[in-house]
Each structure stands twice: as C-alpha cells, then as structure tokens.
Amino acid sequence: MEIYQLKVFLEVARHLSFTEAAEALNLTQPAVSAKIKSLEANLEADLFERLGRKIKLTTVGEYLLESGPTLLALESRLVREIEEIKQGKLNRLQIGCTASILNGWLPKFLFAYRQKYPDIDLQCVPFGSTQAIYQALADGTIEIGFSETVLDGFDAVVSESIDSFQYCLIVAADHRLANSQWLSLRNLTSETWVFPAAETPERLALETRLGELGLDLSDFSHHEVVQSPSLMSTFMSQGHYLGFASSFQFQAERRAKLLTAIPLQEFPLSLKLFMLRPKLAAKVSRQPKRKSSLKPVSRPVSQLVRLMRERTHHSREYKRSQHSRTTQKVSDFAVGKLSEKQFANSKPTSSPVSKSLVPDSPASDGPVYNGLAVGNQLGIQPIYLQSPNAFPSRPRTSETLTITIGTQNKTIQTVTAGIIIQKLGLLEHFLPREGRYVGVGYDIQWRDFTSGAPIVNDLQADRLDIGILGDYPLLLSGMAAGDVSTSEPNPIADRAVAAKTRLVSFVASNPDGAGNTVIVPHRSPLNNLVDLRSRVIAVPFASAAHGMIMRSLSRVNLLPEVTLTSIENLNIHSLTPRNPQADGYAYFAPLHDIASHKGQFRRLLEHGDVEQLPTFHGVVVREAFADEHADIVIAYLKALIAAQYWYESTPSALSLVSNWVGLAPEIVAKTLGYQRSGATGLFFPETRIRTDWIAEHIQQLRGIAGNEAIGDIHLDSWIQPQLLEAAISSM
C-alpha cells in the first residue's frame, strides 16, 4: 500500500464520490478510480460497494477510514524528522499538558532539561482537557503529553505513571477553616465554593467522586464556576470561598502563606500522574538498538523521558531516607513510649492530619507526612485512587443494588474492613460501573455489631451480604444452611454441612493467639487456667473468645468442669457487669483491655498460658452474592487493601480511627499496631488467607463435644482466594 493511494482513498471516503474527490485532488476521475482499484488489489479486499452511481464503504473501508489518518500523520512526522536528521540534528520537542501541570509540576523538569540540552527548541502547549491532549498526540501536533487522567484503552496513546499528586481543599490563610486538619465534602455543602471550569481534570475528578458518593455539584448551595486559576485564587483570597484543586496548583500562594491546603476525607490517597505518548512511538522506543554505521540519534523526547525518570526516582529515594525519624515517632507512640500529648507536640502540625499530606514537591510516593513519602518506607507498595475516565459516559438507570455489610467497628483489629472503608468512601470509589453495572446505583448499608454471633445469624438468614468475623464465628458462618443458633455453648451440633458463605480474605492476624484472654478482678484468688475448675466464666457465645476458652479448657481436660455462661447484650461501655455468679470473663481484643482499664480487672491468662494457635479475622461473603456479584466482592477487597495501606502509611490514622470508634488512641495502637514500621500490636493487617491456620482451628475444635460437625467444612470449596487475587492484580 502506497501513501498516495491512502490519500486518494481518504478523499473518496470523505466525499463518497469519485468525482468530488478528483476535484479536491486535482486529478481526473479515471485516475482516481485507477488508484482505488490498485489499492484494493494490494489489500485483496473491496473498499467500496457500488450501488449504481452511489458508493458505500465496506467494513474494511470503514476501518481504513478510521485508522488511515494516524498513518498519514506518522508519515508526515517521519518526513519532517528525516529532514532534520539530514541537517545533523533533531532540535524540536513539542510537549502538551494541562494548565495545572504546566504551572505546578513541569517547570522544574523543563528547566533541568534546557540546562542539559540548550540547543533544543522546546515548545510547551497548555490544553484545557485531557481529551484535547489525546487529539494532539493522535494527530502529531505534540510528541509527548502529561495529564492527571489516564488514557489506557485508546489505540493512539500509551500511558505511563510518572509521578503522583493529591486533590485537596484550598482556602485563604485567614479563613475560619484554615486551621482544620481533616475535612469532608459531605459536611461542606452549605459553604460558599468556587469550582474549576468544566472539562478540566480537577472538575472531572470532583464530579466523578461526588457521583460515586451520590452527590452532585447542585448539592453545594452556594458556588461559582471560574475559567482560570488566577480568578479562582482571587475568589478564595478575597472572597473567602472554598476551592477544590490539585496539589500542583497555587503552590506559590501556599508558600507565601496566602492560601492553605487541607486534606479531604473523600480523597485520602494519592492519584497517579501520567506521561502520554503516541503508541507507535512508544513501541519504537522500546525496540532493541541495532548495529549501524550511522551515528545514533538521541531524540529529544527520549532525553526528556530519561531525565524525568531519573529525577523522580532520586526524589523518592531522598524522601525515604529522610522518613526514619517520623516513622520512629509513630512507632514509639504505638508501643506507648510517647503519650498522646507528646506525640502531638512532636509533630510539625497537630493531629489528626498533617497539612503536609498535600505536597508541594513532585514525586510523592503515596501519602506524605511532614513533606515525606511514607508508603514504601513501611515496606508496602503504594496504593492509589483510580483515575477518572477522560471520556466519561453517564447513562442513567433506575436500578439500585443494595449491599449490606456487617462490621465490628469497636473490634479494632477489623477497622480496616469496616469503619475506615466507610468513612473514606473507598467502597463507593472501587465499585464497578462498567459492563452490566453501567448506570447502576448502589445503596451501601453498613451495620455495626459488638460481636460475631449476630453477623453469623444474619448471613445465614440472607440479611447480610458481607460479614467481618473472628476465627470461631467465621467457621460457624461456613456451616449448615438455615439459622445457626448462637445462643447455646455448642451452636453447631448435629447440623449437616452446606456452607452458605465463602471466605474471600483475611483482615488481621495474631500469630501467637494472644488476642483472646480471660480477665478476673484484681483481688480474685484465681491465678491460672487450672484454677478455673468448678468456676463460672462469662463469655460472648459464638465469639472468638468463646472458641479460645473452649479450646484452652479442653487442652487441660477442664471443659466439663467449668461453667460457661453467655454475656447477653454485650455493651462496649459496660463490659463487666457485677454478676456474682461469674468468676471471670473471656473476651476478645480489645474488650479485655477496655475492661481491665475501666473495671479494675487483670488478665488471668498471660501469653504462656494461652495456646500457641494463631487467631485471625476474615471477610466472608454470602454464597449467592459471591456467585452473582463477584465484581462487587472484588471491589470490596480493593477497598480493604486501600484501607490497610491508608492505615499503615498515615501516621494520623491512630487519631482518626480513635475518633471514629470512640476509643482511646492507646487502645487502637495496642490492638492494631504499625507492624511494618516496627511498632507492636496484638494484630497486624493481613489479607492473605492462611489455610493452615484454619485447618488447625478445625482440627482442635472438631474434638470438642458439640463441635464435631465443624470438621466437615470443605476448605477447598469454602475458601475462594481467586477474588482476592483478582483485587490485588488490578490495584
């Protein structure tokens, strides 16, 4: 196929007329017809259907009409660049980006580039939207682009993550909210706002996130829309409007302390910044070099890409090396070496969130504390919010899908699976909205419980879709269909096993089993497990603590000689009722620490007395829901992974979670510590399902009277790790 043949074809295809194409090309009609016949012969396919005097494109013709202009643009660029090579140099670099990137992120790279390559004719063009950048790349107007929005899935452009940034709230330094450390869009709808112009990446990100949360710009009763950042700055500084912007914007005003940035709860994690290149050019740049007698030509775009990769890598390494002191403060607080007051005073800004979460510098690798990236320092991979679609489609439908989730928010080791996802709106963010879910509305119903027994019952009764459970109730959820009675000491006796749930992920683990224990009054004569003979122990039935006390007593052949009585209506604020019949209480973490702190109780079972059997919490999903809505389960698991990353990489997480659950920060830290940063805690976040631990629990429980049927759980069919694998691979 010749280029000129393609040009003739495109003219005929545009006009659907040989005569008009001939006039446009200044050729005779027979010459045009000959070119088309020659092209069809080369391709061995008809390009037009002849319908009398009219013509119509065939399927091959439609494809060539769609793809041909890209080939012509490439041909034009090649001719131009070859001419420059003949002159001995390639001296032009054309860059496209959004205005915020040009003003806030790109200049330092361009300056460094010009210092290194002063002979390059550098041209940088700002565009109002990512769509415009895409078109400029596709038609060859620019050679490389940068955008806050990804363009994966489009034929002409390839996207590569080059850096990260955050969206935040911007206000005047003297605004009444300027000293706020953490704000939510949901609580600011009655404030006066100034919003960026339509089609800008900031506006697209805001509208997309609001849509996920069931909100709209119209919910903000007082707002203006402006077309330029300078006008937006004026509204914020002089009119005390609230503004929404990326961390690239208004950097000079923030350094001058005229404006200040405040983290938003709806944007708790970073987003990726993308480098965009024409797909053909990107493929060519990755080809291995061939030996040639000609001197290799170093293209300006390759030089720029290399420089940017080097500088962003060095920036990350510097931030990691500087982060150790901050990490140590977090560790000391978590293990109790620093009081809450000392921890707050040691930070550059007061809790709950440092304003430095919104960085002025590039290459922040995940959340930032005191200007330092913390994610990779903790040994975990950064997790990002999803980039909004640059070409959004918003079909509407009347369908609403309800998702019910049972959590135990005051069981601190499970907060990453419940209250954190809920408060940060992470499930709404990751829920599927393509394919069969296009236009579907979601009604997420969070139901908080004090223990696992009612969650098990509601899963079995189809009143919950997803449940967060500790080891023993987690196993109960996989038992027989129908209501599982959790009001008796041995709730699963004589039941045929037909699991109605699927175990899809772990949430938190304690490798040595110290998460459950027995507490007794300080003056109690009881000192060890053997002293419980002929005693009464109160325990929340069908809880992890219930499983622990049964296993522990069975291990020393005391189970028949100890009376286990149920704690009805478990209340986190009244854990130790004055029950003269109870000699002690078996609790799961953090309830035993709360009771010991408030009720003058002490642990009866210390580490050496407790069986060395790991305890864990996990996510179980109703079987029918997992089968019908696997994409939603995957979305929930992605939200769980993001919540765990947020908790482990955000030092303010302790204070925030403490506020959300209404428990002291010391309890939070003692229960779910910063394990990857060196701090200790009873549990550490973990999603990997440990089948060996589950099997050991089953092995020990099946030998206890009334629990024999638990041994019939078929782990191969009950455990479904594929959904977790899919979530991890798509993050």
Residue type, 256: A
3-state secondary structure 485-512: CCCCCCCCCCCCCCCCEEEEEEEEEECC
What's the rounded Cα separation, in Å, for the pair 218 and 623?
39
Helices (H), 335-375: 340-346
- Measuring CA to CA, which residue among 304, 130, 260 is closest to residue 201? 130
Rounded to whole angstroms, the Cα distance separating 108 from 105 reads 7
What is the Cα–Cα distance from 50 to 12, expressed in whole angstroms? Answer: 13
Report the C-alpha gap between 194 and 250 in whole angstroms: 14
Residue with tokens 């911007």: 170
Instruction: Give the pLDDT score at 726.
Output: 95
* Phi and psi at residue 653, to the nearest 5°: -60, -35
Cα gap 356→645, rounded to integer Å? 18
For 304, other C-beta atoms within 10 Å of its C-beta total: 23
What HEC string does 687-716 produce?
Answer: CCCCHHHHHHHHHHHCCCCCCHHHHHCCHH
Residue 53's CB is within 10 A of a number of other CB atoms, namely 8
Q: What is the DSSP letter of 334?
A: H
Using CA atoms, how far apart are residues 102 and 126, in angstroms rounded to an integer? Answer: 7
- Determine phi and psi for 709, rounding to 5 degrees: -70, -15
Mean pLDDT by 10 residues, the chain (731 residues): 87 90 90 90 89 86 87 79 63 89 92 90 89 87 90 76 95 95 93 93 94 93 92 94 96 95 95 87 43 48 89 55 41 42 39 33 33 37 87 67 96 95 97 90 95 93 95 88 46 46 94 83 87 90 90 90 84 61 85 71 66 88 95 98 91 87 87 63 89 93 88 91 94 83
The three-state secondary structure class of 274 is: strand
* Statement: the pTM of the whole predicted model exceeds 0.75: yes
Quote the pLDDT of residue 407: 97
- How is the chain split among helix, strand and coil, in percent rounded to 5? 45, 20, 40
Residue 335 CA to residue 329 CA, distance in Å, equals: 10
Strand partners, 445: 404
Do residues 244 and 202 touch, judged by C-beta distance below 8 A? yes
Q: 573: which 2 tokens? A: 């604020």
Q: Give the pLDDT score at 295.
A: 35
Q: How many CB atoms lie within 10 A of CB 82?
A: 11
Question: Who's near 118: CB < 8 A, 6+ residues apart?
Answer: none
- Residue 365 in contact with residue 161, Cβ under 8 Å? no
DSSP 199-222: TSHHHHHHHHHHHHTT--GGGSSE
Q: What is the pLDDT of residue 325?
A: 42
Give alpha helix (H) positions in 536-622: 544-555, 591-599
CA distance 705 to 490: 8
Residue with tokens 């697209």: 204
Q: Which residue is listed with tokens 């009347």?
A: 398
Backbone angles phi, psi at 591, to 5 degrees: -60, -35
pLDDT at residue 651 in the model? 73
Q: Which residues pair with 566 in a beta bridge?
A: 539
| The pLDDT of residue 119 | 83
The structure tokens 């790109």 sit at 106
